[in-house]
Amino acid sequence: MISSGRQVRARVAVLISGRGSNMLALARAMQAQDYPADLVAVLSDRAEADGLKSATDRGIPAQALPRASFASKAAHEAAMIEALQRVAPDIICLAGYMRVLSPAMLAAFQGRIINIHPSLLPAFPGLDTHARALASGTRVHGASVHFVTEGVDEGPVIAQVAVPVMPDDDPDRLAARVLTGEHRLYPLALAMLARGEVRLDKGKARFSRSDNSIRSQMLLIA
Ligand code: GRF
């Protein structure tokens, strides 16, 4: 952890594969003096990820470790783990990182990896969540920040944001509404973890009794 004045700020690394808008939302939140975390590194598995340039333009250390440069998934992950260990993050945020993490990566950062997923988990794990939400007829959709565990999109939920599904929505319109919610949700959820208001304990999310942590689990966007 970094100590700035009286406040201890968690060191955060963000893993991306593409656009990086959630990474930027986290970076913006971290500019606040009272935010409990600092962004120390952005890593991508794709050299062409737009988020890498956005990070570099803002002076955030960013590095690509393309999967194609490594002989195997294991070799790629070993390099990722090494790069992460060099920056010694307290917390790793997956933000549009399109790879399933191996048990080795999970073990190296036990209980300290979180992900944002564009649905109200446990509904719609996996891909194409917005089209599937529309096809299901649900009137409420949203996003979840959860601890990363071995099952894809199965880890315990830390916080969620809900948005309405409008009658004239198509997947893109719905995705844009959810994304606005994601950009509010992820900084709140990360702050909860950085402040110790939630932790992973025997496969479950354990919350402290702070009013703030309870409130931020109920973020609803009209
Ligand atoms: C977001 O919708 C996130 O929930 C999902 O992938 C997308 C990444 O978008 N995991 P961005 O790269 O953060 O803009």
Query: Which is catalytic among the residues 76, 117, 146, 183?
Result: 117
Rounded distance between C-alpha atoms, residue 160 and residue 114, angstroms: 13
Q: What pLDDT, in 10s, does the model give residues 132-169?
A: 999 999 999 999 999 999 989 999 999 999 999 999 99
How much of the chain exceeds pLDDT 90, in percent?
A: 89
Pocket (CB within 6 angstroms of ligand 1): 16, 18-22, 51, 95-96, 116-118, 143, 179, 182
Determine the atom of ligand 1 nearest the C-alpha atom of 143.
4
Q: What is the pTM of this model?
A: 0.94
Looking from the CA of residue 16, the nearest atom of ligand 1 is 12
Q: What is the pLDDT of residues 160-206, one digit of tens each?
A: 999 999 999 999 999 999 999 999 999 999 999 999 999 999 999 99
Ligand 1 centre to CA of 210 (Å) is 29
63-122: pLDDT as tens digits: 999 999 999 999 999 999 999 999 999 999 999 999 999 999 999 999 999 999 999 999
Q: What is the model's pLDDT at position 4?
A: 47
User: Is 141 tagged catalytic?
Assistant: no
Which of 17, 178, 179 to probe ligand 1 with, by most ligand atoms within 8 A of CB? 179
